Amino acid sequence: MEHLQMMTTEEKLAILADAAKYDVACTSSGSNRKNGRHGMGSAVAAGICHSFAADGRCISLLKILLSNDCIYDCKYCANRRSNDVARATFTPEEICSLTMGFYRRNYIEGLFLSSGVVKNPDHTMELMTQTLMLLREKCHFYGYIHVKAIPGASPELIEQAGYFADRMSCNLELPTGEGLARLAPQKSRKKILLPMRQIQNGIAANKNELTLYKHAPKFVPAGQSTQMIIGATPETDLQIMQVSQSLYEKFQLKRVFYSAYVAVNSDSMLPALTQRPPLLREHRLYQADWLLRFYGFRAEELLDEDHPNFNTLLDPKCHWALRHLEEFPVEVNRADYHTLLRVPGIGVTSAKRICRARRENRLDFADLKKIGVVLKRAIYFITCSGRMMYTIPWNQEFIFRNLLAVKERLPDLVREQELSFRQMSLFDDFNVNAQDQTKALTGQI
Amino acid sequence: MEEKRPRVYVCEDCTEGILSAVYEAYLSRYGHKYITIETENFCQPSFFCDYIQVPTDIEHGESVARAIMKKISGEAWHWVYMASMAGEPGKAQHIYRFLNMGFANPEKVCSALTQDDVLAVYKLSRKVGRETDKLMGFVRFKELSGGILFGKIAPKHQQLQLLGNHFADRLPEENWVLYDENRRMACVHKALGPWVIQKDVEAFLGRTEKISEEEAEFSHMWKTFFEHIAIDQRVNPRLQMQMMPKRFWSNMTEMK
């Protein structure tokens, strides 16, 4: 303990930023708050990225743990009790000074405060709540705050934190209860879902309050999120998407984050230390997550028991479209918004623009290009005034091979790393014979 | 009838300047198709046109702005305002043609994205907005010895006005100066007051080297945080550069 007292804020910052970095969520979106004429800070609905770290991830918030002195021993976690790592604990004052100093220089959009469990959940949550209170009431900080709800902490403490924070989150950690029981025996699914439900109910009650009293204090105005680790346990993509879907529907979450498992510990129950994070899988899950939230897809449409995992070669929407050719081609000048959204190459923005522009005049392919439709993908699935752009053989194999030739913009790390992982299941999907496979992979059609 | 000689109205590169030229162009009744508007910094004279210099008139500019809001729509005004900040040639002409269409067809103009000038104005406004979004995050202030916060930017488009509003709301109790290196102008904000754009700030710039005692400490801690927050197994410089283009780096504490 003597040594801990001697540590400078900067040394603690190094340790506790390191300890916090595996948490993926760093968004500052969902709150819109104009400043009064005092104090410091405001919030912008869309969120603001202040920097990008060497791994290309956005840095929006000062993402730190209050402490990494954790009593738990979760197998996958760098801060588990049995690991020999440097431990540090911030005082609430230190966190306030860092947040204010960074915010004033426009380094950050706010604070993301999480923590290992110090002594017990209540003690930890109390320290966190105390920090937030200091920030809001003494420092008059009106920037963004994202705080973790510590499972097992008393509901009163969580509620109190919710009135100071913009967003709260409670990590699901692993997609299924069995996985959790194996890798994080001190945590349980039930304990994690409890605060999640409490926050959900709190937000709903607060909405009613706000309609009655405009100036009622706001409870978690930017909603709650969660994250799960992908690739540490053997769940299929279908299982994961179904979990996300029910979280969105039953818990009204704003976001579910997926975190490709980064091997930091060696353990017989974990994938080998040499395994690289499954980034392409994470990428596909995010793509599918978008399809759930903004495109009106359901998990069961995208995957089924026979094909429980996403394809590595095609994005989930193309994959779905190829397996449902009976729904295409779609007539751009007539199809409704929701049908347009399901066409590969048409996104939310371009679907809206199409609906707007076609009121003024009939659209042809040149117009679609101007509007921002990705024709490379869309041409196989749409008609303009009854015509397709080119006459093409209307079958899965042809379209599939042409779609493969369209280079998808993947993060390059993903591309080089996962090439060897590209499995053959896709080819089974579309009955492509062995000869075609090699052609497709070398890019000749 | 003899063909009219084309005219070019040359104006200052700012919202009021462009709108003043639009005002003159309408007032002249010379005919839209014979008129081009260009800002002076992008104007390349040719022998076949008459050049008319239009002085910026705030009142004329405001009356055009009011007309756009009232007769076309708030959305159209937003597009025009943002597009007028763009640092690209041809923007004034696109705005002029957009307004021609807008005053003739107020309800339809913003939906007609397939029309070149409408699309151009819309795209320009998005380009400017995207850069504003980036800069809202990438601006770095350093604290000078007197407690003033000082930040530098080198944007492609005019951003001081847009950023001024943002930071005045965010840091109302601070004295801060945001300097545009490309245009040699600064947005100056006095604590609890409004912000103003100032053109002659050379004298002030000479005094920006002296930083406060705390400054070195905080910028160093920020760099420490920046290094430690990246996950080694996921390092991806290309993605980083794509999200945060190199042209911003020279003014960012952690990238220097």
DSSP state of B26: H
Q: B4 or A417, which is more confident?
A: B4
Residues B28 and B44 in one domain: yes
CB count within 10 Å of CB A16 equals 29
**Which residues between 28 and 87 in chain B have a beta carbon less than 8 angstroms from any beta carbon of chain A?**
none
Which residues in chain A touch residue B228, judged by CB atoms under 8 angstroms apart?
13-14, 17-18, 21
For the stretch A73-95, pLDDT in tens is 999 999 999 999 999 999 999 99
B93 domain-assigned: yes
B2 domain-assigned: no
**Residue A138: pLDDT above 90?**
yes
Q: pLDDT band at A419, cuts 50/70/90?
A: very low
- The sign one gets for the Cα dihedral B13, B17, B19, B20 is negative
**For residue A351, what are the domain limits?**
316-442
Which residue in the set A21, A104, A262 is minimally distant from B149, CB to CB? A104
Chain mean pLDDT for chain B: 93
A310 domain-assigned: no
Residues B180 and B230 in one domain: yes
Task: Single out the residue in B109, B131, B153 at which a domain terminates.
Answer: B131
Cβ of A104 within 8 Å of Cβ of B174? The answer is yes
B88 domain-assigned: yes
Task: Single out the residue in A240, A273, A302 at which a domain terminates.
Answer: A302
Mean pLDDT of A390-404: 84
Q: Report the domain count for chain A.
A: 2
**Which residues between 210 and 229 in chain B have a beta carbon less than 8 angstroms from any beta carbon of chain A?**
214, 217-222, 224-229
For the stretch B116-161, pLDDT in tens is 999 999 999 999 999 999 999 999 999 999 899 999 999 999 999 9
Chain mean pLDDT for chain A: 88
Burial A333-342 (b: 16+ CB within 10 A, else e): eebeeebbbb
B154 domain-assigned: yes
Is B249's Cβ below 8 Å from some Cβ in A? no
Write down the pLDDT at residue A247: 96
Residues A274 and A357 in one domain: no
To test the contact with chain B by mutation, choose from A7, A15, A52 the residue with the greatest count of B C-beta atoms within 10 A, namely A52
Task: Single out the residue in A302, A329, A348 at which a domain terminates.
Answer: A302
Which residues in chain B touch residue A52, judged by CB atoms under 8 angstroms apart?
239-240, 243-244
A354 domain-assigned: yes
Mean pLDDT of A259-272: 90
Residues A375 and A336 in one domain: yes
B193 to chain A: nearest residue by CA?
Answer: A37
Cβ of B149 within 8 Å of Cβ of A62? The answer is no
Mean pLDDT of A356-366: 90
Write down the pLDDT at residue A223: 94
Task: Single out the residue in B131, B165, B200 at which a domain terminates.
Answer: B131
Which residues in chain A touch residue B227, judged by CB atoms under 8 angstroms apart?
54
Residues B144 and B127 in one domain: no
Residues B183 and B212 in one domain: yes
- Single out the residue of A103, A47, A33 nearest to residue B176, CA to CA: A103
* CATH, residue A44: 3.20.20.70
Residues B105 and B213 in one domain: no
For the stretch A2-44, pLDDT in tens is 455 579 999 999 999 999 998 887 788 888 888 766 889 899 9
Task: Single out the residue in A274, A302, A330 at which a domain terminates.
Answer: A302
End-to-end CA distance of chain B: 64
Cβ of A356 within 8 Å of Cβ of B218? The answer is no
What residue type is assigned to position B176 of the chain? W
Which residues in chain B touch residue A105, judged by CB atoms under 8 angstroms apart?
140-143, 149, 218-219, 222, 253
Residues B180 and B95 in one domain: no
Mean pLDDT of A368-390: 92
**Residue A424: pLDDT above 80?**
no
Cβ of A105 within 8 Å of Cβ of B235? The answer is no
Residues B94 and B37 in one domain: yes
For the stretch B174-217, pLDDT in tens is 999 999 999 999 999 999 899 999 988 888 888 888 999 999 99
A28 domain-assigned: yes
Which residue has tokens 């999120």? A225
| A227: three-class secondary structure by DSSP | strand
Residues A262 and A286 in one domain: yes
Residues A45 and A167 in one domain: yes
Residues A249 and A378 in one domain: no
**Residue A427: pLDDT above 90?**
no
What DSSP assignment string belongs to A136-150? IIIS-B-SEEEEEPP
Chain mean position to CA A254: 10
- Single out the residue of A48, A56, A231 nearest to residue B230, CA to CA: A56
Write down the pLDDT at residue A39: 86
Residues B126 and B34 in one domain: yes
Write down the pLDDT at residue A437: 39
Measured CA to CA, the distance from residue B214 to residue B144 in angstroms comes to 10
Residues A244 and A341 in one domain: no
Mean pLDDT of A425-433: 45
For the stretch A107-117, pLDDT in tens is 999 999 999 99
Residues A277 and A370 in one domain: no
SS3 content of chain B, % helix, strand, coil (to 5): 55, 15, 30
Angle (deg, nearest 10), helices A189-212 and A155-164: 50
A308 domain-assigned: no
**Residue A425: pLDDT above 70?**
no
Residues B66 and B126 in one domain: yes
Residues A281 and A409 in one domain: no
Residues 6+ apart with CB under 8 A from A208: none
For the stretch A45-72, pLDDT in tens is 899 999 999 999 999 999 999 999 999 9
**For residue B145, what are the domain limits?**
139-255
Write down the pLDDT at residue A403: 85
Strand-pair partners of B211: B144
Measured CA to CA, the distance from residue B256 to residue B245 in angstroms comes to 14
Q: Report the domain count for chain B.
A: 2
A307 domain-assigned: no
Cβ of B114 within 8 Å of Cβ of A361? The answer is yes
A311 domain-assigned: no
Task: Single out the residue in B89, B114, B131 at which a domain terminates.
Answer: B131
Residues B23 and B117 in one domain: yes
Measured CA to CA, the distance from residue A165 to residue A414 in angstroms comes to 35
**Residue A426: pLDDT above 70?**
no
To test the contact with chain B by mutation, choose from A65, A94, A104, A141 the residue with the greatest count of B C-beta atoms within 10 A, namely A104
**Residue A155: pLDDT above 90?**
yes
Query: What pTM was estimated for this model as a whole?
Result: 0.89
Write down the pLDDT at residue A361: 86
**Residue A431: pLDDT above 60?**
no
Measured CA to CA, the distance from residue A129 to residue A160 in angstroms comes to 7
**Residue A306: pLDDT above 70?**
yes
B192 domain-assigned: yes
Residues A12 and A153 in one domain: yes
Mean pLDDT of A313-329: 91
A119 domain-assigned: yes
Residues B107 and B160 in one domain: no
Mean pLDDT of A151-176: 94
Residues A282 and A396 in one domain: no
Q: pLDDT band at A409, cuts 50/70/90?
A: low
Write down the pLDDT at residue A410: 60
Q: pLDDT band at A312, cuts 50/70/90?
A: confident
B1 domain-assigned: no
Residues B160 and B101 in one domain: no
Measured CA to CA, the distance from residue A109 to residue A105 in angstroms comes to 10
Q: pLDDT band at A150, cuts 50/70/90?
A: very high
B15 domain-assigned: yes
